[in-house]
Amino acid sequence: MSTASQPAEQHQEQSRPPIAFQCAKCFRIVGDSWSWVCSHRELNSISLSTVNKSVELSEILRTSSEGIDIGSTYTTLNCKGCNIELGKMYRTTPRFLDEIRDMYSISIDAVISYTNVHYKTPIINLFVDMNSGPGKPLSNVTQAIYSQETLKP
């Protein structure tokens, strides 16, 4: 479908700057909102279809023994910079969690969010110093989503 025939709201959504997600410990970029799949309140996570090379997928398959994902199998996602656990990649899930299977489900507590207001500049060049860079640091995903929705194109 061409951009000209898309509803104005959908076109506006595509023109908004991305939200970048960084490791909360070492600040390496792990992904951005352009690969957003969904968020899951009960799992306290966001799921992305792709992540940056800073994320390493464990080879050890584990099984969840509690919570709403009980019985699901997954491998952990770790930050290559500081080795903290960022989240999980589910390999098997109950039917109601099918949407996150084989996606990068990142714990909201393991990342910080950053809106790049100069998004036509490559994001990697803007993360030299979060506090003095051209964008503004955000403390959590909810704040990042709100900020993204209120930005004017």
- What was the pLDDT predicted at 135? 46
Name the band, by pLDDT with cuts 50, 70 and 90, for residue 13.
low
Residue 4: what are its φ and ψ, rounded to 5°? -65, -30
**Segments of 6-79 assigned E as strands:** 19-23, 29-32, 36-40, 45-48, 55-57, 62-63, 73-79
Confirm if 142 and 39 have CB atoms less than 8 A apart.
Answer: no
Record the tokens describing residue 61, joined without a space.
């398959």
Query: pTM here?
Result: 0.67
Domains and CATH numbers, the chain: 18-150 (2.170.150.20)
Question: Tens digit of pLDDT for each residue in 95-139?
Answer: 999 999 999 999 999 999 988 665 554 443 333 333 334 444 444
Question: Tens digit of pLDDT for each residue in 14-54?
Answer: 567 888 999 999 999 999 999 999 999 999 999 999 999 99
